[in-house]
Structure 1
Amino acid sequence: MFTGIIEELGTVETIDLSGDRAHVHIRSPHVLDGIALGDSIAVNGCCLTVTTHEGEIWSADVITTTLAATSLGDLAAGDRVNLERCVRVDGRLDGHIVQGHVDGVGEIVGREESEGATLLSIALPASGDDPRGLARYVVDKGSLAVDGVSLTVAALDGDVATIGLIPETLARTTLGRRGVGDRVNLEVDVLAKYVEKLTAGLVPGTEARR
């Protein structure tokens, strides 16, 4: 479990794509504090398992399904990545509940500077057989994790969500480097998915989804 509050910008040392999997090495001195083999670290919002770590560098394996469902396959040596360790039960939940389970990959379709903030517009992808895609889980002023960053939706227009980024977020995450055409990992609020599941079938014309 994560909160969407990024602890460190790591650097991809190497990423080896071979067949149906990838092996990634990341340099990140801060988030390795207290980490043991088998622990979880969210990389751009995707929960990965630490398989090795030595000094300031750790590695993780990324399987086919994860490569297909996220933007991790786009990474290259030298890229910066958002990192967060799993949350402690005695810590503050400063963002919102984030599982590190990416629901889809969106595309940035707009970037605008406005009143001391940067507005990013993100096209939300399709999801399953519902024509509304991920947009059905997103609401104005609700929470959305973008590349692992807990953010508030400033506006929703159809399948395009707009988020506002303050200078602190721009400086401390990879979103400060993102531009039109970039792909980003998205995770919607898990509570919305549970509500859909529990209420499916109560409204005429709907049925339960697994």
Structure 2
Amino acid sequence: MFTGIIEERGEIVGRDDLDRAARFSIRGPLVTGDAGFGDSIAVNGVCLTVVTLDDDVFTVDVMDETLQRSSLGRLTAGAPVNLERAMAAGGRFGGHIVQGHVDGVGEILAISPTEHWTVVRVGIPADLAKYVVEKGSITVDGTSLTVSAVGEDDGRDWLEVSLIPTTLAETILGLAAVGDPVNLEVDVIAKYVERLTTKSAETDPKGA
């Protein structure tokens, strides 16, 4: 499990395309400091398993489904990435519950800087819109953020997040441009609530 508090901005230093898979080599001096074989590290919000370690570079294997269902398939050498180690049992819970399971890929529609923060509008897949609420939590490229607004334009659902200078400086969101894809993970609690209420309605359709 993760919390969406990015620990460092790493870099893809190599990519080997395999049969329906890929192996990425990623530089991350902080996250490799105490990492070992089999440990979990979230890369742009995707939970991946450490395969090898060499100084400050670790490798991960990414299967075809993950490449297709996230933005990782677009990554090449030199790309910056958000990195977070799995949460330690006694660690601080600074963000929200993040599983590292991407629900869909959004698209940055607009970036609006202001004096003290930057508002980013993200287009979201229609099937995820029901899980996103104003002031709720959303994970964007692995970063735990608060939804500042939701809406729909021309039949397309969107959400907005407001990024402080620290978030812009310490995560890849500060390097993002309009049109860029972003990995989205909705709040898992919303999905559990939907599942429970749906099952309850099926069991007792009259609500008795």
> What TM-score range do you get, normalising by the shorter chain?
over 0.9
Q: Whole-Å Cα distance in 2 between the matches of residues 96 and 178 of structure 1?
A: 23
CA deviation digits over 1:137-171, x for unaligned, max 9?
A: 00000000000000000000031000000000000
- Which structure 2 residues correspond to residues 16-95 of structure 1 after superposition, within 5 A? 16-95=16-95
Q: Whole-Å Cα distance in 2 between the matches of residues 55 and 34 of structure 1?
A: 11
Structure 1: which 5+ runs fail to align? Answer: 127-132
Alignment RMSD: 1.3
Q: Structure 2 counterpart of 1:119, which letter?
A: V
How far has the Cα of 1:17 moved from its partner? 2.0
Q: Whole-Å Cα distance in 1 between the matches of residues 38 and 201 of structure 2?
A: 43
Q: Whole-Å Cα distance in 1 between the matches of residues 34 and 88 of structure 2?
A: 12
Residue 192 of structure 1 corresponds to 190
Q: Whole-Å Cα distance in 2 between the matches of residues 109 and 202 of structure 1?
A: 38
How far has the Cα of 1:18 moved from its partner? 2.8
Q: Whole-Å Cα distance in 1 between the matches of residues 190 and 115 of structure 2?
A: 31
Q: Which has the higher helix share?
A: 2
Counterpart of 1:165 (choices 146, 160, 163) is: 163
Identity of aligned residues (%): 53
When normalised by structure 2's length, the TM-score is 0.93
Count matched residues. Answer: 199
Residue 150 of structure 2 corresponds to 156
Q: Structure 1 counterpart of 2:88, which letter?
A: R
Q: What is the SS of the residue equivalent to 2:118?
A: strand
Q: Whole-Å Cα distance in 2 between the matches of residues 22 and 201 of structure 1?
A: 38
Runs of 4+ residues deviating >6 angstroms: none
Residue 141 of structure 1 corresponds to 135
How far has the Cα of 1:202 moved from its partner? 4.4
How far has the Cα of 1:201 moved from its partner? 4.8
Q: Structure 2 counterpart of 1:145, which letter?
A: T
